[in-house]
Amino acid sequence: MSPFPAADLKLLGDLIQERFGLTFEGVRQEILAARLGPRLRELHLDSPRAYYEYLRFHPQRDAEFARLPALVTNNETYFFRETRQFEILVDHVVPERRAGPGRPLRLLSAGCSSGEEPYSVAIALQNAGHAPGRVWEMDACDLNVERIARAKEGVYEEGSLRACDADARRRYFSQEGARFRLRDRYRAGIRFFQANLLSPGFAVERGAYDAVLCRNLLIYFCDAAFEQAIGLLGRALLPGGYLFLGHSESLFDRTTELAPVVVGGSVVYRKPPA
């Protein structure tokens, strides 16, 4: 049980939801308390309410808001997580979408964290003989500016490679002490940028992408933010384009033009063809 009053945590949770669309209701309040405890101690603040007031009014609030997403969200990710979806992308989506006009496929990794997901996709595509630039190009964005910087750097700790066997480590990475640098050839074709999907200023090109991966991100969103994000991602897809969600996420009971379809034995969501 959290040592902080529930009302204080709700006050702070509401502010985070308003700003980022991330929800910390119910049992997730405990998670919020656990993740923010160390930061409160650093700032010599004795309650989430004091931190709320800091975020609302302190002269350094903008800098604090900038670091907040990294403090409260889980950046748990690793290379080749839920690889079945990459196989579907490579085996089904790419061949189908390439039958269209002669242009590279455009992909979006939304909520890409420190780059493990888009780089895994890039490796899967290259292993299937699909060259970056000519066959595909990818945008990758995340709320957190530090994670985007790490993604651009392409250097990872052991934990990010937990699903990589020895052969994969050798082929895709060069070891630098205790860390692993992704080889340059797998870094081509991806454009990283910082963005908040829910920010009024965030505008993706309408009808721009053949496939969007947005996995294990929507679980943090409140209902309104979820609807907003799905609407935005739906608009970003080309007619007939695909949306990949995490295994614990679905569009059940949601109003959306995206329809569930079974591809390669898994459920993905598709925008109706033109």
Partner 1 sequence: MTASTLTPAQRVAALEAAAREPGAEAAILAALEDPAASVRERAIKRAARYLEPSVLGALVADGANAVRRNAGLSALDRQGPYAVPHLVGMLGGQDPELLLFALQSLSRIGHAAAAPAILPLLEHPDPNVAQAAIEATGKLRIQEAVPPLCGLLQRDLWLQLAAIAALGDIGHPDAVKPLMAFVPDSILAEPAVQALRRIAAPESLEPLVPLLFSVRERSLRDPVLLAVAVVIDLHPDPEPMLRRMERDVVVDGGNLATYLGQLLEAPPGEGDADESDSLLRAAATVVAAAGIAELQPVLLARLARDAASQWIEGLFTRFPERLTGRLAELLRHPDQDVRCGALRVGFFSPGDVSAVIGHLADPHLPVRTAACHALGRVGLDATAPLLLERLRNGEPPEQAAAAHGLAGLSPEVLGELDGCLEPGTAEAVVVEALGVLARTPVPGLEPRVLALAESRSPGIRLAALRAASRVPGSRAEVVLMRALADRHAPIQAEALDLLVRRGGEKSVTTLVAMLGTADSLRFHVIRALGHCRAQSAAVRLRDLFSQCGPHEQLQIVSSLLRIAPAWLPQFLLLRLESPDLDMRRAAAQGLAEGAGHEHLPVLRALAEDADWDIRHSAARGLGRLRTAETRDLLLTLARDVESVVAATARAALEQSQAAVSSAA
Interface contacts to partner 1, rule CB under 8 A: 6-7, 10-11, 42, 44, 50, 53-54, 56-59, 223-224, 227, 253-255
Residue located via tokens 């082929």: 171
Choose between 57 and 133: whose C-beta lies nearer to partner 1. Answer: 57
Nearest distance from residue 240's CB to partner 1, in Å? 23
Choose between 167 and 253: whose C-beta lies nearer to partner 1. Answer: 253
Q: Do the Cβ atoms of 13 and 4 come closer than 8 Å?
A: no
Q: Do the Cβ atoms of 123 and 94 come closer than 8 Å?
A: no
Choose between 12 and 211: whose C-beta lies nearer to partner 1. Answer: 12
Nearest distance from residue 127's CB to partner 1, in Å? 33
Beta-carbon count within 10 A of 43 CB:
14
Nearest distance from residue 28's CB to partner 1, in Å? 13
Nearest distance from residue 32's CB to partner 1, in Å? 14
Rg, Å, the chain Cα set: 20
Burial of 265 (0-12, 13-18, 19+ CB in 10 A): exposed
Phi, psi of 133 (to 5 degrees): 90, -55
Question: 271: which DSSP letter?
Answer: P
Nearest distance from residue 42's CB to partner 1, in Å? 8
Choose between 8 and 139: whose C-beta lies nearer to partner 1. Answer: 8
**Which string of b and e fits 8-40 if b means at least 16 CB within 10 Å?**
bbbbbbebbbeebbbbbeeebbeebbeebeebb
Nearest distance from residue 255's CB to partner 1, in Å? 4
Choose between 213 and 222: whose C-beta lies nearer to partner 1. Answer: 222
Choose between 50 and 145: whose C-beta lies nearer to partner 1. Answer: 50
